[in-house]
Amino acid sequence: MDIPDELVARLRAAQNVVVFTGAGVSAESGIPTFRERQTGLWERFSAEELATPSAFERDPALVWGWYEWRRAKVLSAQPNPAHLAIAAMEKHVPHLTLVTQNVDDLHERAGSHDVVHLHGSIVRPHCQRCRQPFTAQGSPPSLTADTQKIQPPTCTHCGGHIRPGVVWFGESLPTLEWEAANAAARNCDVFLCVGTSAVVYPAAGLTLIAHRAGATTAQINPNPTELDGDVSFDLKGAAGVILPALVQKTWAHECGVAI
């Protein structure tokens, strides 16, 4: 698809840019999204049985086993051209804030710095009771099934269960991260919303916060979302195609641009 000249001009002139990502940015790395028909995780698994505090209370081994299966997927995945293009933007934009809902570490592995993780990290578990980080975690076991039960490790400080370091439904987002994302959305010139269905709050509200504060907003997604009609530019297509093209068109005139 054609990248709009006006978006390129606004991005080139911007001092403060926010890139806000969802599961779609990692889809081309082979990490399943949540809500897409047929391939989304919530098509095959129940969010209530796996991604809530009460699910972990009820059956910690089921929940831990499922997250170990997903952690193994993340560890064997590689950043794709969308992650790389976002990392390259950091070199051209005076102040770029990368806010992600994703629990994988593919942005970091692509070279992005100071990534704001609103929904936590699947590679950084902690104790459910005393919140101490759990560091003695090696590679996940080779799992034959996505619903294989695995007893979670025990905290060496207090004996509590170790839990995945992610934000489940009904849990608050980490305060510092949420405040940083909110402030960045309110103060940016350009806000790029990439690969999210924009249904999970409060994160889903960030694009509209930026839009109402006067930012240029652009959505990059091959499918319809809740934000259709509410953004300045709607780029319908895969992030791994559109983002490299956007970076190339915006900064190709700068010497040595590489993505």
Choosing from 10, 19, 24, 79, the residue that interacts with ligand BJW (CB under 6 A) is: 24
Answer for the pair 106, 86: CB distance below 8 angstroms, yes or no.
no
**Does the protein bind ligand BJW through residue 199 (CB under 6 A)?**
yes
C-alpha–C-alpha distance, residues 60 and 213, integer Å: 43
- Known active-site residue 211: no
Q: Per-residue string for binding with Zn ion, 141-170, x by CB under 5 A?
A: --------------x-xx-x----------
Q: What's the token pair of residue 124?
A: 């950084």
Choosing from 225, 227, 231, 244, the residue that interacts with ligand BJW (CB under 6 A) is: 225
Of 39-47, 122-130, 134-142, 177-185, which segment contacts Zn ion by CB under 5 A?
122-130
Q: What's the token pair of residue 57?
A: 């209370």
**Judged by CB, which is closer to Zn ion: 129, or 249?**
129
**Does the protein bind ligand BJW through residue 190 (CB under 6 A)?**
no
Answer for the pair 26, 102: CB distance below 8 angstroms, yes or no.
yes
Q: H/E element holding 164?
A: strand 162-166
**Does the protein bind ligand BJW through residue 56 (CB under 6 A)?**
no
Identify the three-state secondary structure at position 154.
strand
**Does the protein bind Zn ion through residue 4 (CB under 5 A)?**
no
Choosing from 97, 121, 197, 250, the residue that interacts with ligand BJW (CB under 6 A) is: 197
C-alpha–C-alpha distance, residues 224 and 205, integer Å: 17
Residue 114, by phi and psi: left (phi above 0), alpha (psi -120 to 50) or beta? left
Active-site pick, 83, 107, 117, 119: 119
Of 49-57, 131-139, 204-212, 247-255, which segment contacts Zn ion by CB under 5 A?
131-139
Choosing from 7, 10, 19, 28, the residue that interacts with ligand BJW (CB under 6 A) is: 28
C-alpha–C-alpha distance, residues 211 and 205, integer Å: 10
Choosing from 10, 119, 126, 161, the residue that interacts with ligand BJW (CB under 6 A) is: 119
Q: What are the backbone angles phi and psi of residue 246, rounded to the nearest 5°?
A: -65, -45
Query: Half-sphere exposure of residue 128, counting CA atoms within 13 Å on the CB side?
Result: 18
Which spans of this chain sit near Zn ion (rule: CB under 5 A)?
Answer: 127, 129-130, 132, 155, 157-158, 160
